[in-house]
Homo-oligomer: A and B are copies of this chain.
């Protein structure tokens, strides 16, 4: 892959790569491959042998699983400057644990597993960075398991809306839904119908105003209280 300075700067800002030396970065990029992904195009399949992990430069990728009946649960929506599938680095038999597919047209960088592992062996700070990142992911998983097991669909929708906001947001705030509603529904483990009805009932109660992919939260504090 062609090294270019914009990319190098982007890498340096990422937790996984920021502790690498200049030489290590170049080694890594030399083994990396750029990749375009169309909407709906499959990047990898659950169980497929894995030799690369990825970074999103533009667009959006979904990581998901399917039930036997073809129902889809999106485990994660990956956005620009985020990496995914790093966990294949440390498997004895590296296999992608989910399906990966483009949601919007996306531009990716594919990093080589073996190359990164070799570099890791010589960069203890990077090792720690990976550990910290995996810890954060595990936190997210705990939270997701909790909401799936203990909370109803209404809670999940409200929680999702609040999650789109700044932590510091107050009063009346607008957000744009970051994907089609079908996608968001599959992420929240509800049907599109239920998502639609939930947004409607929140509107009817005066908690939000919703038109298309714009949602205005009338009163953030009130909505936050509403969850408990």
Question: Is the pair B90, A150 in contact by a Cβ cutoff of 8 Å?
Answer: no
Closest residue of B by beta carbon distance from A95: B139
Q: Which of A119-170 contact B (CB under 8 A)?
A: 121, 124, 127-128, 130-132, 134-135, 137-139, 141-142, 144-146, 148-151
Q: Complex: how many Å from CA A91 to CA B137? A: 11
Question: Is the pair B150, A73 in contact by a Cβ cutoff of 8 Å?
Answer: yes
New A-B pairs, 11, CB < 8 Å, besides A124-B127, A134-B135, A148-B149: A65-B150, A67-B150, A75-B142, A87-B138, A90-B134, A97-B142, A131-B131, A138-B141, A141-B141, A144-B145, A148-B148
A98 surroundings in chain B (CB, below 8 A): 142
Give the 5 A-B residue pairs with the shortest CB-CB distance, closest first.
Answer: A67-B150, A141-B141, A149-B189, A148-B148, A73-B149
Chain B min CB distance to A189 (Å): 4
Q: Complex: how many Å from CA A66 to CA B148? A: 12
Question: Is the pair A97, B139 in contact by a Cβ cutoff of 8 Å?
Answer: yes
Chain B min CB distance to A86 (Å): 9
A6 surroundings in chain B (CB, below 8 A): none
